[in-house]
A and B are shown apart, each in its own frame.
Chain A
Amino acid sequence: MSLDNILNHWSDYRKGSEEGGHHDYEHRWAMAINLDLCIGCNACSTACYAENNLAVVGKEKFEKGQAMHWMRIERYWDQQELEHPEQGASFLPMMCQQCGAATCEPVCPVAATYHTPDGLNAQVYNRCIGSRYCSNNCPFRVRYFNFYSYYESSWPEPMEQQLNPDISVRDKGVMEKCTFCVQRIRTVKDKAFMEDRPVQDGEVVPACAQACPTSAIVFGDTMDEGSVVSKLWKKHQVERGVYQKTKLAKKDADLRGYRIFEELNVDPSVMYLERVREDI
């Protein structure tokens, strides 16, 4: 059985090995996050907790760095020597960037993380053995490991009633991360399939985008030319797979789009729009 599998799919396997990632995409889900609109309210993070059955680990473990926030708001402060320093913190919502050339994928010993035809980095919880290599090789550090079994501490009775039935609750020893709300994507895709039509733009809304009070997060399919996210990417001249020294190359102040750690060539699926600042 399994020998057949590897022999029959050898060419696919080699293709995946040599070029990495997936090649015949059905969708390429992507985001555009407008940092100018982000007010750092953490609603996205909270929504993510509710949607994806994320464990609440408690203050002590949070301080130890064992939190499970798939979506985190990073805070940065400007150096005060700047001519016009920001008042207060700048915020950066950070979640799995669903890289096109993800560094987490090749290092997993059991192939528990792989690239889907949707352009997502899927994490197969049942396959994960917890070597944690993927997290070590993630430049964004957005992979979260179940250091403990949180089921009883995080959802004491009757809290387990509010768990999202669409996705599992992960037990200790398993890596997890943002999935771009894959359960919502699936529901929409299934519905579209039943109705025999393509998925429409704006149909899939991940929990974070849904909860964002300023609509800073835009989600969509970059394979769909007409989608809002495609247009935004195009408008800010951010292209997939293209390494661009954004800031240096773009003189135009309107071109605010950039992807984090672009120089590492991991091809992230999330484009950020820089804050509009006075001295730039």
Chain B
Amino acid sequence: MTMVTEKDINEQIAWAKINTDVLKSMENPRPAYWVTLAVCIAMVACAVLAEYIQYTVGMGTANLNNPHMWDMYIAAFVFWIGMSHSGTLLSAILHLIHADWRKPIYRFAEAMTTFSLLTAGIFPMIHLGRVWNLYWVLPYVSDRGIWPNFRSPLVWDAFAITTYLTASMLFLFVGMIPDLAICRDNTTGWRKKLYGILALGWVGSDRQWRHFRKIYLLMACFLIPLAVSVHSIVSADFAMSIMPGWHITSFPPYFVAGALYSGCAAIITLFILLRYFFRFEDYMTLPIMEKTAKLTFAIAMVWTYLNLIEFASVWYGHDVYNKELLIAKATGAYAWIFWTMLFCGSILPFALAFRKLRRHMPTMFVVSLFLNLGMFFERWMIVAPTLSMSQEPHQWDIMYGSIIEWAIVFGSFGWFGMLFLIFVKVFPSVSMYEVKEMVFHRKLSAGEEDLARMTDHAKPVTQTTGGGGA
């Protein structure tokens, strides 16, 4: 059956309308916005209070104990680092392969990357017993001649995350410069001042565009290996150890796949929210949602595959510790988490295989949230059960986090939400210049097609979407 291919975007959309639509989204926050922001800030306040208690009283308040030296903090850390990967996927990888449907949605995905990295970075810090000595991890020139231990994956983490954070922030900023210039030209007051500084004197001359294109491509190329390496290094925290369930060769690709997966699911969530609240139906269209969903489905299957080979290699490897741990995961006290993870991560994504469901926004919203729930559980299943059941049977234990730990983990969601909410009102969450470019290219190619049809004397096909005069 031949389907009438829908257009990703209505190419008849006027450039001025793109500007007004996006600029309008940055103005006049509605009461709901303030309420959500207040909730987010309250969540952060709870986390700050919890961290204050933990800082002054000790790490024991998080219910950590001898086998469970790490718990949800590290799981949350891996989760947030993972979420940051999809922004890079959308903006850098899809940029390189000229998938131009990414253009209306990559900006917020990139913002998500930066903010989830900012969230993730908090966890390794607060989970230190002596946070105040955090800087010892960095190779600064100390007059005592002491260096960090370059063999430790935690030191690699510090390098990888700071590099990735710097690079993705720069990428976000550089990609936004032409838009900031539009904002500068259309606003007054403090906004004009802010955008005036940030736009770096952008006037849109040929020379500027040429340089811009070059640097943007260069940074995209720089960012892709970084994105892969960051999560591989995070996986090294586990894979470099000798613990059963951690010392697994397939961890780096497994982590990267999981990262892209949860990131794509988060993109779907935010996509729907922005589309609904900012009335971005013209930009965040259903065909783009479908493409994102298909991408998510593909990644979900990669993740499932890597899961299965991990189980298989443990099962047939006959390493007694690993095998016992796997059985304990599937049948022991954490079994409900294990099976929820597998259901959310491997079964639920099949919902994305159906066109009807892909186009039904409420369903997609719920599904995307559950995908991420599954991914959070996955991270927890990596960290905690290994510690619960390591080689030493005397120290086997079951542990769940205390309210302090939960408060900080919940607070991290508030922190992310707060940053994101501020971002969407201060910066354009849809890339104006790239949408214009996309519209222009589409129009051009559509024109060529029309021309081809005319010369072939083919019957003109009526477009299903669109509307508005030429």
Q: Chain B residue with minimal CB distance to A73?
A: B394
B149 pairs with A106, CB closer than 8 A: yes
CB distance from A111 to the nearest CB of B (A): 4
Considering the chains assembled together, what is the distance between the CA atoms of A135 and B68 in angstroms? 9
| Interface 9-residue window, one of B138-146, B327-335, B433-441, B444-452 | B138-146
Taking CB as reference atom, which chain B residue is nearest A107? B152
Query: Is B392 interfacial (CB 8 A cutoff)?
Result: yes
Given contacts A64-B65, A66-B66, A131-B154, contact A141 B392 (CB under 8 A): yes
Bound-complex Cα distance A127 to B152 (A)? 15
* Cβ–Cβ contact A111 & B243, under 8 A: no
Bound state CA distance, A74 and B66, in angstroms? 15
Q: How far is the CB of B312 from chain A (nearest CB, A)?
A: 22
A172 at the interface (CB under 8 A from B): yes
Nearest CB on B from A140, distance (A): 6
Closest to A109 in B: B154
Quick one: CB contact mask for A115-150 with B, threshold 8 Å, 1 for yes?
000000000000111111101110111001111110
- Contact present for B241 and A103 (CB under 8 Å): yes
Query: Contact at B149–A109, with CB atoms within 8 Å?
Result: yes
> Could you tell me the distance between the alpha carbons of A261 and B143 in the complex, rounded to whole angstroms?
41
The residue in chain B whose Cβ has the minimal distance to the Cβ of A5 is B145
Q: Which residues from B are CB-within-8-Å of A33? A: none
- For the complex, is B153 an interface residue (Cβ under 8 Å from A)? yes
- A108 CB within 8 Å of chain B: yes
Give, as a whole number of angstroms, the nearest-CB distance from A89 to chain B: 12
- Residue from the list B68, B129, B243 in contact with A137, Cβ < 8 A: B243
A103 touches B130 (CB 8 A): no
CB contacts (< 8 Å) of A130 on chain B: these are 59, 128-130
* Smallest CB separation, B369 vs chain A (Å): 31
With a cutoff of 8 Å between Cβ atoms, the chain B residues found around residue A107 in the complex are: 151-154, 240-241
A74 touches B394 (CB 8 A): yes
The reply to whether A147 and B65 contact each other, CB–CB distance below 8 Å, is yes
Interface residues of A in 248-280 (CB under 8 A from B): 261, 264, 266
B251 to chain A, nearest CB (A): 15
Determine the distance from Cα of A199 to Cα of B137 in the docked complex, in whole angstroms: 38
Q: Does A207 contact B (CB under 8 A)?
A: no
| A272 → B minimal CB distance (Å) | 14
A127 and B136 contact, CB distance less than 8 A:
yes
If the complex has contacts A127-B136, A141-B392, A148-B57, are A136 and B130 also in contact, measured as CB distance less than 8 A? no
Report if B38 contacts A (CB, 8 A).
no
Judge whether B143 and A1 touch: CB under 8 Å.
Answer: yes
Residues of B within 8 A of A64 (CB): 60, 63, 65
Pair B134/A2 contact, Cβ less than 8 Å: no
What is the distance, in angstroms, from A59's C-beta to the closest C-beta of chain B? 14
Q: A276: shortest Cβ distance to chain B, in Å?
A: 22
Say whether A173 contacts B141, CB under 8 Å. Answer: no
- Asked if B466 is at the interface of the complex by the 8 Å CB criterion, the answer is no
Q: How far is the CB of A77 from chain B (nearest CB, A)?
A: 12
Tell me the chain A residues, 18-50 only, with Cβ under 8 Å from chain B: none
Please tell me if the beta carbons of A17 and B134 are within 8 angstroms of each other in the complex: no
Q: Is A67 an interface residue (CB 8 A)?
A: yes
| B129-A17 in contact (CB<8A) | no
User: Are A106 and B66 in contact, with the CB atoms below 8 A?
Assistant: no
Bound-state Cα–Cα, A49 to B129, Å? 22
B313 within 8 A of A: no
**Which B residues between 157 and 189 are near A, CB-CB below 8 angstroms?**
158
Contacting B142 at CB < 8 Å: which of A2, A108, A141? Answer: A2
The answer to whether the Cβ of A208 comes within 8 Å of any Cβ in the partner chain is: no
Q: How far in angstroms is the closest Cβ of chain B from A139?
A: 4
Q: Are A128 and B130 in contact (CB under 8 A)?
A: yes
Q: In the complex, A76→B396 CA distance in Å?
A: 13
A94 at the interface (CB under 8 A from B): yes
Tell me whether B224 is interfacial, beta carbon within 8 Å: no
User: B146 near A109 (CB under 8 angstroms)?
Assistant: no
Q: Are B137 and A109 in contact (CB under 8 A)?
A: yes
Residues of B whose CB lies within 8 Å of any CB of A are 57-60, 63-70, 124, 127-130, 133-134, 136-137, 141-155, 158, 237, 240-243, 387, 390-392, 394-395, 397, 399
19 contacts between A and B (CB under 8 A): A1-B143, A2-B146, A3-B141, A64-B65, A107-B153, A107-B240, A109-B148, A110-B137, A111-B146, A127-B136, A128-B129, A128-B130, A129-B130, A129-B134, A133-B69, A139-B392, A145-B64, A147-B65, A175-B129
Top 5 nearest A-B pairs (CB, nearest first) are A130-B129, A173-B129, A147-B60, A65-B65, A5-B145
- Which residues in A have some Cβ–Cβ distance to B below 8 Å? 1-6, 17, 61, 64-67, 72, 74, 76, 92, 94, 103, 106-111, 127-133, 135-137, 139-141, 144-149, 172-175, 261, 264, 266
Further 17 A-B residue pairs, CB within 8 A, beyond A133-B152, A136-B70: A1-B144, A6-B147, A17-B151, A65-B65, A109-B136, A109-B155, A111-B148, A129-B129, A129-B137, A130-B129, A130-B130, A137-B242, A137-B243, A145-B66, A148-B57, A172-B129, A264-B391
